Chain A
């Protein structure tokens, strides 16, 4: 029986360009000279470094600890020596740097100790902690920590677990190849996730332009004897692989922006994530490598198993980049991220390195004014009116843009794709969104500042009053005392003494002040030199790393005492 499928509004059909990179199996990439592993790879938190330069690390050893409630750990992807822990260029359009661990491989590629876990006997909370420390994040591109998503809704169970094998972006075939070659293992990961979520049924959505993958997954399901798991071929239409769109296609449910899909009884994971969950739970291997498609302006497009941290140009070299290549794009041509340099590392979010050239991705013709033709609205899979959002984003009328549901935009690029005026619509939306966020931050900051300012004024007022009261009381006391002593004489001097003592900072003469300052500075310097750390035994590696970092900072700061250096 054929499953009833649903449609999502809009969508486009760009040229898929997928066949070339699927002709050959997944290959290994030789170890590079140097791995650059950014500590911040997933949304939420900046994992703290757990290693210091000079440390020896094993493959799979944790080098970045999860920090905060939505963070996920980072691991060494091969064995070797930590060369440095410094900010390095991120694979991100901004060209910003982030704290990264640079490892020089020793070539042995030796695993450290690996913990396996029996997921059927482990309580769910522990299992989630285990996955957090194994660094498993969504490999579809959003890199959301998987453990946070592996919580069933309020009812404690889930209706449908959707596995995303749609892979709708042109050029990318890493999920396709993964399903073809590792369907059985991936299925084990799916079964584990199903167990954690207590899901009734599992639907694996695969676009119908990947018949081999559908067949492989179906064969694996049949071989495993599992019931309630189904591989469903869905019509090929970009962006069918968007989580919300895929859920819509398979179940008919539309998850609104800002709501959790588990509230609707659905959860969605990428096939690559399923595979890495299998590796983590059954083999004890943390997420240290992933399948990456190299495509575009290369001689031999192909999929590779790449260690996280491998410089991209090293990977691309295996496929032979053509000489006119001018940029790398992380991801596909519709949503991919323009990268600031060739040498940025492969991270967990890297599903594809798309090599671009002016011929392959020519610059768009000049931007014309919007003629409100509505093509973008027809193509929008979120049922938005992009031309209205554009109109108000362009004039920086952000409130109005938000009224047209700017934040429901998933930045899929369909609108820009179809626009006859060649307007970079998505760029305008990104601009508007980040402006709005910035304004919200500013607003929060200024509200906080206002509160603090008002509190300070209040406090000063209160202190002044208390002081006045105290002084009055003291004066009264002195007067009484003087009156009690009964004798006139040195009274006025006594009354003034406490007042002077209360203000030691008040400058009496310039010289004394300077002398005081000099003395204080000297003392401060001595104190600093004397500080010796205590209680340094028996600490966790994390704390030790923290202390080392602080010491290093201290030492660096102590050597040049010139302030403006």
Chain B
């Protein structure tokens, strides 16, 4: 029997997810423009794997398939996986990662809405730990045409080291570390000098900065549509920029500028699409600020001092861990119990 309220606002999970997917389109367009259409293959692979994995789990668990596949949440996870992985990873890596994300990190916890960790980021972390080499090979913008990308994705033997390198973020960090080593030929060079190469582009790496801009645009649209609030992207960008800026101000020769940090790697994607995942993120307003600020600082720390090329995924996962405690301790005072 239905009880009050008898009227409802026309809103649905499916609509929310659909808008998130739409918001990803500008970034994907920039990605294709600069790095080739290989990413579209990856997206297709991941989506197919996600739907298959979700359908299988739903079938095993006896849940209605059409309803839950139609909510599009698996597709969002799949797209995020494809967009955070290097575009030329072999197909089995994408597929395995997506299946792990959907089956283990999402469905084993009960499916939509119940997973404490962001499935896409958990998959990323798993893969970068398991296959560090494959997960660190990024083509430079315009370096590979579509057919060679396809060959890399589906082909067998890979001799990619010759043609691809690390992301600008990773490369810069390696270079900065080398610069402190007296034996290196880069010894004594400052960050600004190291970043003089064409691969670094204007802000955060050639091509990559435009992709980031695309994600920023999509994110702003989500903000305008009120799918997300400003708290998480705002606090994340601010914390990342502040922590990067602090060290940059102290030792400009040893650290990259905050703008570089914001414009490179997964910062924009993370700020607007990954950390804003409501299921695994904090939900109170103060909690969101804390959650995103923590992720920002951790991202910088892992990027600057850690062993992995980008810190967004680990930072997200680490902050996911803290979410229950953050939420518990940042509950806003309820009506009549405010101190004002």
Q: Is B307 an interface residue (CB 8 A)?
A: no
Q: Is A466 an interface residue (CB 8 A)?
A: no
Complex CA gap A244/B336 in Å reads: 9
Min CB–CB distance A350 → chain B (angstroms): 15
Contact A369 B278 (CB under 8 A): no
Q: Kindly identify, within residues 398 to 431 of chain A, every residue whose CB is under 8 Å from any CB belonging to chain B.
A: 404-405, 408, 413, 416-422, 424, 426-427, 430
Q: Is B113 an interface residue (CB 8 A)?
A: yes
Min CB–CB distance A330 → chain B (angstroms): 10
Contact A329 B6 (CB under 8 A): yes
Q: Is A443 an interface residue (CB 8 A)?
A: no
Contact B6 A361 (CB under 8 A): yes
Q: Is B180 an interface residue (CB 8 A)?
A: no
Given A368-B71, A383-B335, A420–B13 Cβ distance below 8 Å?
A: yes
Q: Within the complex, which residue of B16, B114, B327, B332 is in contact with A383, where a contact is CB–CB below 8 Å?
A: B332
A-B pairs with beta carbons under 8 Å apart, 17 shown = A244-B335, A254-B336, A257-B335, A257-B336, A333-B6, A334-B4, A368-B13, A369-B113, A375-B11, A381-B335, A382-B335, A385-B284, A385-B332, A419-B8, A420-B11, A420-B15, A420-B16
Q: Within the complex, which residue of B1, B2, B283, B336 is in contact with A374, where a contact is CB–CB below 8 Å?
A: B283
Given A259-B336, A373-B16, A388–B327 Cβ distance below 8 Å?
A: yes
Q: Is B111 an interface residue (CB 8 A)?
A: yes
Complex CA gap A15/B281 in Å reads: 33
Q: Within the complex, which residue of A368, A388, A413 is in contact with B112, where a contact is CB–CB below 8 Å?
A: A368
Given A383-B335, A417-B8, A338–B16 Cβ distance below 8 Å?
A: no
Min CB–CB distance A357 → chain B (angstroms): 11
Contact with A along B1-33 (1 / 0, CB 8 A): 111111111011101100000000000000000
CB closest residue in chain B, given A421:
B13
Set of chain B residues within 8 Å of A561, measured between Cβ atoms: none
Q: Kindly identify, within residues 234 to 276 of chain A, every residue whose CB is under 8 Å from any CB belonging to chain B.
A: 244, 248, 254-257, 259
Contact A377 B7 (CB under 8 A): no
Provide the main secondary structure of the chain B interface: loop
Nearest 5 interchain pairs by C-beta: A256-B336, A413-B5, A369-B113, A361-B6, A420-B11
Contact B114 A369 (CB under 8 A): yes
Q: Kindly identify, within residues 365 to 398 of chain A, every residue whose CB is under 8 Å from any CB belonging to chain B.
A: 365-366, 368-375, 377, 381-385, 387-388
Q: Is B60 an interface residue (CB 8 A)?
A: no
Min CB–CB distance B330 → chain A (angstroms): 10
Q: Is B143 an interface residue (CB 8 A)?
A: no
**Chain A residues touching B, range:** 35 or more
CB closest residue in chain B, given A255:
B336
Set of chain A residues within 8 Å of B13, measured between Cβ atoms: 368, 371, 420-421
Complex CA gap A92/B110 in Å reads: 36
Q: Is B67 an interface residue (CB 8 A)?
A: yes
Contact A371 B113 (CB under 8 A): yes
Contact B335 A9 (CB under 8 A): yes
Q: Within the complex, which residue of A9, A361, A424 is in contact with B7, where a contact is CB–CB below 8 Å?
A: A361
Contact A418 B332 (CB under 8 A): no
Complex CA gap A371/B16 in Å reads: 10
Contact A254 B335 (CB under 8 A): yes
Given A369-B112, A372-B283, A424–B3 Cβ distance below 8 Å?
A: yes
Contact B4 A336 (CB under 8 A): yes
Given A256-B335, A369-B111, A382-B334, A14–B283 Cβ distance below 8 Å?
A: no
Contact B15 A338 (CB under 8 A): no
Set of chain B residues within 8 Å of A382, measured between Cβ atoms: 334-335
Contact B7 A14 (CB under 8 A): yes
CB closest residue in chain B, given A410:
B335
Q: Is B126 an interface residue (CB 8 A)?
A: no
Complex CA gap A371/B9 in Å reads: 17
Contact with A along B190-222 (1 / 0, CB 8 A): 000000000000000000000000000000000
Complex CA gap A562/B12 in Å reads: 62
Contact B334 A383 (CB under 8 A): yes
Set of chain B residues within 8 Å of A375, measured between Cβ atoms: 11
Q: Is A560 an interface residue (CB 8 A)?
A: no
Q: Is B338 an interface residue (CB 8 A)?
A: yes
Contact B12 A422 (CB under 8 A): yes
Contact A334 B7 (CB under 8 A): yes
Contact B327 A413 (CB under 8 A): no
Contact B112 A371 (CB under 8 A): yes
Q: 10 new A-B pairs (CB below 8 Å) besides A15-B7, A383-B333, A419-B8?
A: A8-B335, A12-B9, A334-B6, A371-B113, A372-B279, A374-B278, A416-B5, A416-B8, A418-B11, A424-B2
Residue of B68, B332, B336 contacting most chain A CB atoms (<10 Å) = B336
CB closest residue in chain B, given A387:
B283
Set of chain B residues within 8 Å of A93, measured between Cβ atoms: 3
Q: Kindly identify, within residues 333 to 364 of chain A, every residue whose CB is under 8 Å from any CB belonging to chain B.
A: 333-338, 356, 361, 363-364
Q: Is A170 an interface residue (CB 8 A)?
A: yes
Contact A418 B336 (CB under 8 A): no
Given A372-B279, A430-B3, A408–B335 Cβ distance below 8 Å?
A: yes
Contact with B along A21-43 (1 / 0, CB 8 A): 00000000000000000000000
Set of chain A residues within 8 Å of B61, measured between Cβ atoms: none
Q: Kindly identify, within residues 282 to 317 of chain B, every residue whose CB is under 8 Å from any CB belonging to chain A.
A: 283-284
Contact B7 A417 (CB under 8 A): yes
Min CB–CB distance A452 → chain B (angstroms): 39
Q: Within the complex, which residue of A257, A335, A377, A388 is in contact with B4, where a contact is CB–CB below 8 Å?
A: A335
Q: Within the complex, which residue of B3, B9, B12, B113 is in contact with A417, where a contact is CB–CB below 8 Å?
A: B9
Set of chain A residues within 8 Å of B284, measured between Cβ atoms: 377, 385
Set of chain A residues within 8 Å of B16, measured between Cβ atoms: 371, 373, 420
Q: Kindly identify, within residues 129 to 174 of chain B, every residue whose CB is under 8 Å from any CB belonging to chain A.
A: none
Set of chain B residues within 8 Å of A14, measured between Cβ atoms: 7, 9
Set of chain A residues within 8 Å of B3, measured between Cβ atoms: 93, 338, 424, 426-427, 430
Given A256-B337, A373-B16, A338–B2 Cβ distance below 8 Å?
A: yes
Set of chain A residues within 8 Å of B2, measured between Cβ atoms: 338, 361, 363-364, 424
Min CB–CB distance B258 → chain A (angstroms): 29
Contact A334 B5 (CB under 8 A): yes
Contact B7 A170 (CB under 8 A): yes
Min CB–CB distance B284 → chain A (angstroms): 7
Set of chain A residues within 8 Å of B71, measured between Cβ atoms: 368
Given A372-B278, A374-B278, A421-B13, A337–B333 Cβ distance below 8 Å?
A: no
Contact A335 B278 (CB under 8 A): no
Set of chain B residues within 8 Å of A372, measured between Cβ atoms: 113, 278-279, 281, 283
CB closest residue in chain B, given A258:
B336
Residue of A248, A337, A372, A377 contacting most chain B CB atoms (<10 Å) = A372
Complex CA gap A386/B4 in Å reads: 16
Q: Is B331 an interface residue (CB 8 A)?
A: yes
Min CB–CB distance A266 → chain B (angstroms): 12
CB closest residue in chain A, given B284:
A385
Min CB–CB distance A533 → chain B (angstroms): 48
Min CB–CB distance B90 → chain A (angstroms): 32
Complex CA gap A416/B5 in Å reads: 7
Contact B334 A405 (CB under 8 A): yes
Set of chain A residues within 8 Å of B68, measured between Cβ atoms: 368
CB closest residue in chain B, given A372:
B278
Min CB–CB distance B229 → chain A (angstroms): 8
Set of chain A residues within 8 Å of B279, measured between Cβ atoms: 371-372
Q: Kindly identify, within residues 166 to 183 of chain A, every residue whose CB is under 8 Å from any CB belonging to chain B.
A: 170
Contact A333 B7 (CB under 8 A): yes
Complex CA gap A291/B278 in Å reads: 46
CB closest residue in chain A, given B331:
A385
